[in-house]
Structure 1
Amino acid sequence: MGWLYMHRAGMGGFDTPKAYLDNQLTWERENEETGTFEGCRVIRSVSTTGAYYAAVQRYGPNNQTHAISAVICFVRWNPKAADGLLFGYKDMDENSGPVEAGCPRSILEELGPTSHPYALDWRNRCYRQLRLKERKIADGDMIRLPEPMQFTDGSEHAEFRVTKRGAKIELSTPDGRGRFRISRLMERRFEVVPPKRAPRTFFPATP
């Protein structure tokens, strides 16, 4: 499915993309082909910058339920859009193998078992991304990228000293020179370099 854009009126009175999408994924109806009752409900949803993630459950008559699965929506939200098309989204389920792998842990932990190869691959990529994001680095740590990165001043560096200023992270060279920013740093591969230990000095025993 491609992108769907709408004006404020098209959002049906909902003020946020999350509220609108929660409503879109909550429904009950009669299947026209089989004549059976079916429905869908949102177990949990999270809206992030540029994306919406939901754990949803399909159900049928006699409280028959299916395994909880994931729905992912790419979201564009611009309340000040000049043409009035303030909200756009593109939806897919996990069986489509979305490229986006930033699903929060709270959604992943709600999902039921699946054997679909695309869904399994997507979940694995999401967990790998979470493990990267959840790493801890402290003020003063030194980190090393797998290979040097080139910056706008033409310099290339692979090792950086970390300076934390609240939630922001600034980087400098190991000797304290320069100030560098790396976008989405916590989603990148790097290792924390253990501090160098001074060699121990042994003194011979006095006879």
Structure 2
Amino acid sequence: MRFGGGIRADSLSGANPTRLDETVGPCESDCPAAILDLLTPIDAKHALDWRARCRDNLTTRRARAAKPGPRAGQVIVFDEALRFSNGLSFERLEVIANPRGRGGVLFRAPGCGGLYRISNVKSRSYQLLDPPRG
């Protein structure tokens, strides 16, 4: 497969073909477990570090997926205040259903009532408080 400029996706180019492997510096560390399990043993420190980063990322992603997400009616309390593009910061927000009926939830600021979106909310450190019963 060729990309613009004659660069081939299979890393074969010109008269001197080369093959890229994990010893030449992969920077991305999102390799799936199924691929990591197929790799043969290696002594190269850089490759071993890359494999360890990939495994750590897989563990982190699994932990995030298992973490309960915020539901409408709850209050979310972040370990650190989140600063929003309007300059305001909040540690505590009310979780509300999206009024437009689209998936996900929105977050309402205390006092001012402003609505906020938080991308990758599960990657942040927080506690969820259920609404008071009564």
**Structure 1 length as normaliser, TM-score?**
0.41
- 1:169 partnered with 2:102: no
- 1:120 partnered with 2:56: no
Letter in 1 for 2:121: L
In the other structure, the counterpart of 2:27 is 98
Cα displacement (A) at 1:177: 1.3
**Structure 2 length as normaliser, TM-score?**
0.57
Q: Deviations over 1:69-88 (max 9, x none)?
A: xxxxxxxxxxxxxxxxxxxx
Say whether the 8 Å CA contact 1:148–1:156 is kept in structure 2.
yes
Higher strand share: 1
5 Å matches for 1:14-25? 24=10
| Paired positions, count | 115
SS at match of 2:92: strand
Change in 2 beyond 3 A, CA 1:128/1:92 = farther
- Give the structure with higher Rg (CA): 1
In the other structure, the counterpart of 2:17 is none
Change in 2 beyond 3 A, CA 1:99/1:187 = farther
Change in 2 beyond 3 A, CA 1:133/1:189 = farther
Indicate which of 101, 117, 122 corresponds to 1:186.
Answer: 122
SS at match of 1:144: strand
Higher helix share: 2
Aligned-residue RMSD, C-alpha: 4.0
In the other structure, the counterpart of 2:73 is 140
SS at match of 1:148: strand
Letter in 2 for 1:156: S
